[in-house]
Amino acid sequence: MARVILEKITKSFGKFRALHDVSMNFDEGAFHAILGPSGSGKTTILRIIAGFEDYDSGSIHVGNESMENVPVEKRNIGMVFQNYALFPNMTVKDNVIFGLKVRKIKGEAAEKKVKNALELVHMESMSNRKPNQLSGGQRQRVALARALVTSPKVLLLDEPFSALDKALRLEMQIELKRIQREVGITTIFVTHDQEEALTLSDRIGILNKGILVQEGDPKDVYNHPVSSFIATFLGDSNTFEASIDKGIIKIDDERIYASNLNSQIDSKIIKVSIRAEKIKIFKQNEAIEDNFENSLNGEVIQSLFAGKSLTYIVRFGRNVIKVFQQNVYDGILSEGTPVKVLWKATDTIVLKS
């Protein structure tokens, strides 16, 4: 188990700048997610940590050792690939024992480790099968066992579940979390799926266009995004330009309230964001019990039924706001219905950029 420290990593592929001064700390034993859209550099960073790619400037330390000039084979990492990369010419057991053979661990000791690794991922009954006899989920479990059996310092995962269907993905995510807790290994998980990242990680880092935009506790990052990019990338956000004058915020002519307003803002225009699930929607003439500081009148222009949930698109003035609601209430508000949308002042996010 070791922590990983990246300092000011910069990497270019020819003219294309893939990573720019990225510094990240991965704590020992914690589950870290690196999240970002395609082309953000997240896979590049992972491959740099693994040692498959070189970097132009900066430094990497695993434990307290510098990884400069250390080849992949000597880094003692465990890696799980998107396409599983199980050796097709070997059985499950041979795949898992491979890393032990490399380290010259043989005989009973090796057998025991393999057995434990396969039990950990619930694949002990399949040890004589070949990869082409396994389903996608099973292959991924074996890949995980193979990566962990050598007790590496760090576990790296490159979008390991993106090839699985939704139900299976969820199941594997839960499995992975359980295994990681049991083993306690420093884990770095790369994905473009924000739900996955938020579910699994103790700490999340968001990359966009090669730059680390925000890093921290998932809840914090979600509730307090620093930029409109993050606000829209994570969850469903409504972002508006608003005018601010003497602490009074207005979207067009509508007054809105934010409770954590930084008094130091000197520009006249700011960006505010409200998460779609924090907004409540009612028919305009309905009585409400709770106290919501923000209230806007509008009209439903679209209602989208998705089984578990409903999404309403509501127009107020020249603007459009998205409201996300669990399917709790009977009846759907149809298009054209006059409604009011409400949310608390604490849920108004003022964005820094």
Partner 1 sequence: MHLILPKKIHISPPLFLTTPAYLWLTLTIFLPLTAMLFFSFLSEAPFGNRDPYLTLENYVSFFQKDFYQDLTWRSLRLGLEVTILCFLIGFPCALVLTRHTSNRWREALFILVILPFWSNALVRIFSWTMILRGKGIIELILNWMNPEYGSFSMMFSHPAILLGLVHSYLPYMILTCYVSLQAIDETLIEAARSLGAGRMMILWKLIIPLSFPGISAGTVLIFVPVVGSFMEPRILGGSEGTFIGTIIEDQFVKVFNWPLGAALSFIMLALVMVILLVAYSISKKWT
Instruction: Note the residues at the interface with partner 1 (CB under 8 A).
Output: 50, 52, 72-74, 76-79, 81, 83, 85-90, 98-99, 101-103, 146-147, 150, 156
Nearest approach, Cβ of 203 to partner 1 (angstroms)? 23
Strand positions, DSSP E, the chain: 4-13, 16-26, 31-35, 57-62, 65-66, 77-80, 154-158, 186-191, 203-208, 211-216, 237-245, 248-251, 254-256, 269-275, 280-283, 294-305, 309-316, 319-326, 338-343, 349-351
β-strands 280-283, 294-305: how paired?
unpaired
Q: Are 120 and 179 in contact (CB under 8 A)?
A: yes
The two three-digit tokens of residue 6, written as one number: 């990246």
Q: Are 185 and 15 in contact (CB under 8 A)?
A: no
Nearer to partner 1, 83 or 311 (CB): 83
Nearer to partner 1, 149 or 204 (CB): 149
Nearer to partner 1, 72 or 304 (CB): 72
Nearer to partner 1, 156 or 230 (CB): 156
Nearer to partner 1, 76 or 311 (CB): 76
Contacts of 229 (CB under 8 A, 6+ apart): 208, 213
Nearest approach, Cβ of 125 to partner 1 (angstroms)? 23
